[in-house]
Amino acid sequence: MSPDIQMFQHGFFPASFNRPKTVFTFQVLDDFILDNLECGTSAMNYYSKLQRMTSSIFPHLVPHVARIDTGYRELMRVARQWRQLKTMKWHGFGHGSNSPTAGDLALFCPACPQPGINVCLSGDESLNETSSSKYTWSFVMDGNFKAEHLHPIKPLDEVWLSDGLGFMVGKDRYKMHLAAASDTVEKSSCNNHWAVNQANAAQHKLESTAIGGVACARHGCFVPHSMVDFQKGER
């Protein structure tokens, strides 16, 4: 049995698989993801927390973590892999041979009526009938025009773990849409209209200037595989 499989069986997640030297327990990975989700704890702050938990008086003397960049880099990478594995497991792709498709790693609004999921149709009821209007979904579209994202320093090193499998549209499919869509410069009759000026401004250093998506109008839950990055403001 390979060393990495042995470590997994004992509750350790190796930072590398060929010649592992650093491992993280499943408990610490779960704790980091929870801290990051609920408390907004960054990986750097959480790693400092591990140092202080090991030695509250001399955290800088803790073996192997005298250099903060040594284990911090591994924690960042392993946490992404762990989050991806947990998501696959939660959505039923943990132990099967089937692969998820677009939007399979995200859940739609649990309060909206979804026949076959949270609503059982009666024997004589059909979605094609007039009464099916009670199962109609309502959507709204909105965006966050402050969510800017810079171009990656090393784009070839970027690894997409769930491209198009969650709420975001797949990058290749979105690029095809942008290539086919016509680009028109909007002119405003208002003086110094902020939204239009931002859309027409040059953003050479930004990979995306905003993010937008489709959500349930009743409860505000986002629709799987419906969120995209904007390259030119609101355009």
pTM recorded for the entire structure: 0.75
Taking only the tens place, the pLDDT of each residue in 180-205 is 877 666 665 665 555 555 555 556 77
Beta-sheet strands, E only, within the chain:
12-14, 23-25, 139-144, 149-150, 206-208, 210-216, 228-230
pLDDT of residue 105: 92
CB-CB contact of 41 with 27 (8 Å): no
CB-CB contact of 14 with 2 (8 Å): no
Structure tokens at 108: 């739609």
Q: Which helix (H) or strand (E) holds 84?
A: helix 68-90
Q: Taking residues 54-74, what's their average pLDDT?
A: 70
Taking only the tens place, the pLDDT of each residue in 45-56 is 888 888 888 888
CA-CA-CA-CA dihedral for 172, 173, 177, 178, to nearest 10:
-30
